[in-house]
Each structure stands twice: as structure tokens, then as C-alpha cells.
Amino acid sequence: MKTKYNYVVIEGNIGAGKTTLATKISEQFNARLILEHFADNPFLPKFYNDPEKYSFPLELSFLASRYKQLKDELEPQDLFKTFTVADYYFMKSLVFAASTLKGDEYNLYRQIFYIIYGSLPKPDLFVYLHLSPEKLLQNIEKRARNYEKSITIEYLQKIQESYFTFFRQNPDTKYLIIDINGIDFVADENHYRKIIDVIFFDDYPIGLNTLIL
């Protein structure tokens, strides 16, 4: 099926279900799928154990790996796929850095980020899956990743606030914020179809657009 988008990003806080949704969309629409390579980052478990010591190297390593992956995977044309769907966008680097870095480290990081940011293509639609920190923590506990055991509701709240700060400061993208607190698109196919309908069959202006499902 042909869609009006060439590049769609599915984003959200930790545990929101972005990878699951992006994967389901790619399978349904024969879309090229880009998934973030995060599990093999050597700084991630160290960061969760000692955030103050490892936050800067962690954020720099993610900045480099995300840029390389998106540059490598977005530029080549794939004639056999209808469009591209990704489970993250490069701005995620700044969102998380704003929650983990302070002072001069964050200012330096922000300068580096914006130098690189302009060289990457922007999505036609940026979808943000919104869940309360309490529900996010439940999802995180269900998947039982060892390095995520120390994640707190307060940390998830900070990440959420960083996303919305970025949206407000960079309004030149088409953002669709979908509140999914009342649905379960993984377990209920009708809920999944609702999300597909609002993403692909409705029109939205540039800037922030919010829906509650």
C-alpha cells in the first residue's frame, strides 16, 4: 500500500512500545525498518550503575552511533520498500543529554548536536507515543532487562519533559503526539488499527498535534 509519507519516525519514552509499533508498521506496509542499535553500547550498563561518571561518554557514544546509522541507512534508496519507518530519531540524543548532562558538558554537547543535526533528513511525520511514567515503568519491569533495573519514575519524568521541551524549541517538524494510556495496541488488534488510521489516514499541520486514543 502506498502512503503519503516517505519517512516516518515512531518515538517515545523508555518502554512506550516504539520498537514494537515500528516493526508492526514495517511488516504491514512493506516499509524499510530502522531500529536503534543500543543493546551493544558498552557505556549503557555502566551509566545506569554510575550516572554521574558515565553520562558524558554514554551520550557522546550514542550521538556518534545514531548519526552513523541514520546516515548509512537513510541515504540509499530502496526501490522494493514503500517508505522508511524508524523507532528513533537523531534528536533523541539531545533529549536524553538534557536529562543526564549539566552545565558546560551539556552546552558543549548541544553545540555538537546542532552542528550534526542539520545534515540529516527530517521525517515527514514524527509520532510520539505518550504513556504515563507509571505505565512506562510497568512495561520496563515486564521486559526485565538487567541494565534497566535502576530506572526510576523520576528519571522517566525528566525524559518526558525533555521531549516536550525539544518539540517546543523546534516547531518546524510535523509532530503527532498520541496518548496511548487508554489502549494496548500490542494485545488488541482494534487498538493497533486505530493508531494506523490516525498516523496514515489523517492530515496534520506542521507543529504539535495531540490525540488521545
Instruction: Give me the mean pLDDT over the 3-17 stretch.
Output: 93
pLDDT tens, 49-93?
A: 888 899 999 999 999 999 999 988 887 776 667 899 999 999 999
203 is catalytic: no
CA–CA dist 205, 185 (Å, integer): 25
Q: How confident is the model at residue 1, as a pLDDT?
A: 60
Domains and CATH numbers, the chain: 7-212 (3.40.50.300)
Q: How confident is the model at residue 39, as a pLDDT?
A: 64
Q: Which of 78, 87, 179, 197 is catalytic?
A: 87
Contact 124, 6 (CB under 8 A): yes
CA–CA dist 113, 12 (Å, integer): 19
- For the chain, the maximum distance between any two Cα atoms, rounded to a whole number of angstroms, is 48
Helix spans in the chain (H): 18-29, 43-49, 51-74, 92-100, 103-117, 133-143, 153-169, 189-200
CA–CA dist 157, 117 (Å, integer): 25
pLDDT tens, 16-36?
A: 999 999 999 999 999 999 998
CA–CA dist 102, 56 (Å, integer): 9
Contact 213, 180 (CB under 8 A): yes
Instruction: Give me the mean pLDDT over the 156-173 stretch.
Output: 93
Phi and psi at residue 112, to the nearest 5°: -60, -45
Contact 177, 211 (CB under 8 A): yes
* Sequence-separated (6 or more) residues with CB below 8 Å from residue 74: 7, 34, 84, 120, 121
Cα 44 to Cα 39, 65, 96, 144, 180, distances in angstroms: 8, 13, 13, 15, 27
